[in-house]
Amino acid sequence: MAGLNKVSVDDINVKGKKVLVRVDFNVPLKDGVITNDNRIQAALPTIKKLVADGGKVVLCSHLGKPKNGPEDKFSLAPAAKRLAELVDANVIFAKDDTVTGENAKKAVAEMKEGEIVVLENTRFRGAEETKNGEGFAKELADLVDDQVFVMDAFGSAHRAHASTAGVTKFVKETAVGYLMQKEIKYLGNAVEVPERPFVAILGGAKVADKLNVISNLLEKCDTLIIGGGMAYTFLKAKGYEVGKSLVDLEKIDYCKEMLAKAEKLGKKLLLPIDTTVADGFPDPIDAPIEVAIVDSDKIPADKEGLDIGTKTQALFADAVKSAKTVVWNGPMGVFENPTLAKGTIAVAKALAETDATTIIGGGDSAAAVMQLGFADKMSHISTGGGASLEYLEGKVLPGVAVIADK
């Protein structure tokens, strides 16, 4: 089993100690209200374990991408409030624009065992956080008297930031939390020791984002399915007319190489055989839109492909039926539009109905599966889009590498 050979929260004794936990509370907010608390829920097992063990639990996370320093709309206050509703422990939000300033120090100093302090958005420190500034990393460690750091933010593990990596230089003990273990167990097994047949499904708009993933997965999987906007660059590479569809001209040769690689390795690479076209991209994105379905090699010059067609839905669903492991990353079309969500719904439904281990690689696919009500039918929904992609590429995640080995 491709597990994670790292010290975990089960291996450390935190009673009476201050523990800094990097969580991923980067939740979507609308007018200050959390619209999906999935990431907070995912962090609960680790938080509850540390609280039950008598630790003084200090949580840090980023939220969004504040460009202009501290702004209320990027505050972690709503996340702290939601957490307080979900745990039987005292939760204190340390409102502090410098994250580790006087307010934070006071809140941590006054903590009792089994209490939780939530720090302010780590990105309020700008480049000090994102460029892994040593000063900020040391301040975070000093808050917990350089005692214990637990990494449980899979969604940020592909970034070497002060709060995900730099801080580990200054603490005595490091460990991974339960979410990290679970994420890497599922993704690691899928990539390293999958039960076969192993089918990988890649969608989304850009080929460029998934270049290395395509190449790596072709070596690991039995069938690679490509849908979404990136499929049109592959269709173009096969010499098809794709009309006004999204095409990355610089990547056509790469797509040709991948088609040749699949053939050489004896892998199936499935592309859409028909496509849903319209006059152009819907504006606004969820506006009513007139569509037609045409074969992939007969896309009219004045039309844009925006979703897979019905024959392709059946082809892709059929490939999933006999699979034992399926990894899916990226929607099949413009799923934010009801008319253009049919391909993504068909794939989600096929995954919900198969007996295979099904792993959804975060980001838009995770959002689609949740919106469509299929979440409880999947084996694992990753909390990190970018992190799961980098993991599927075969990269070592910096936020994992820095944790002590067992």
Q: Is residue 171 part of a domain?
A: yes
Task: Single out the catalytic residue among 138, 206, 256, 267.
Answer: 206
Q: SS3 for the chain, per residue?
A: CCCCCECEHHHCCCCCCEEEEECCCCCCEECCEECCCHHHHHHHHHHHHHHHCCCEEEEECCCCCCCCCCCHHHCCHHHHHHHHHHCCCCEEEECCCCCCCHHHHHHHHCCCCCCEEEECCHHHHCHHHHCCCHHHHHHHHHHCCCCEEEECCHHHCCCCCCCCCHHHHHCCEEEECHHHHHHHHHHHHHHHCCCCCEEEEECCCCCHHHHHHHHHHHHHCCEEEECCCCHHHHHHHCCCCCCCCCCCHHHHHHHHHHHHHHHHHCCEEECCCEEEEECCCCCCCCCCCCCEEEEHHHCCCCCEEEEECHHHHHHHHHHHHCCCEEEEECCCCCCCCHHHCHHHHHHHHHHHHCCCEEEECCHHHHHHHHHCCCHHHCCEECCCHHHHHHHHCCCCCHHHHCCCEC
Q: Is residue 250 part of a domain?
A: yes
CATH number of the CATH domain containing 241:
3.40.50.1260
Task: Single out the catalytic residue among 101, 188, 386, 394.
Answer: 386
pLDDT of residue 212: 86
Rounded mean pLDDT of 155-168? 96
pLDDT 10s digits, 186-232: 988 888 899 999 999 999 988 888 888 999 999 999 999 999 999 99
Rounded mean pLDDT of 137-155? 97
Q: Is residue 268 part of a domain?
A: yes
Q: How confident is the model at residue 291 (pLDDT cuts 50, 70, 90)?
A: very high
User: Looking at the predicted structure, is the pLDDT value of residue 391 above 90?
Assistant: no
Q: Is residue 1 part of a domain?
A: no
Question: Among 183, 204, 228, where does a domain finish?
Answer: 183
Range of the domain at 16: 9-183
Q: How confident is the model at residue 1 (pLDDT cuts 50, 70, 90)?
A: very low
Same domain, 63 and 206: no
Task: Single out the catalytic residue among 305, 309, 363, 399.
Answer: 363
pLDDT of residue 249: 95
* Percentage of the chain exceeding pLDDT 70: 99
Q: Is residue 86 part of a domain?
A: yes
Task: Single out the catalytic residue among 17, 39, 95, 251.
Answer: 39
Q: Is 386 annotated in the active site?
A: yes
Same domain, 241 and 110: no
pLDDT 10s digits, 263-282: 999 999 999 999 999 999 99
Q: Is residue 2 part of a domain?
A: no
Does the model's pTM come out above 0.75? yes
pLDDT 10s digits, 72-93: 999 999 999 999 999 999 999 9
Average pLDDT, the chain: 95
Q: Is 363 annotated in the active site?
A: yes
Same domain, 138 and 236: no
Q: Is 15 annotated in the active site?
A: no
pLDDT of residue 3: 60
Number of domains forming the structure of the chain: 2
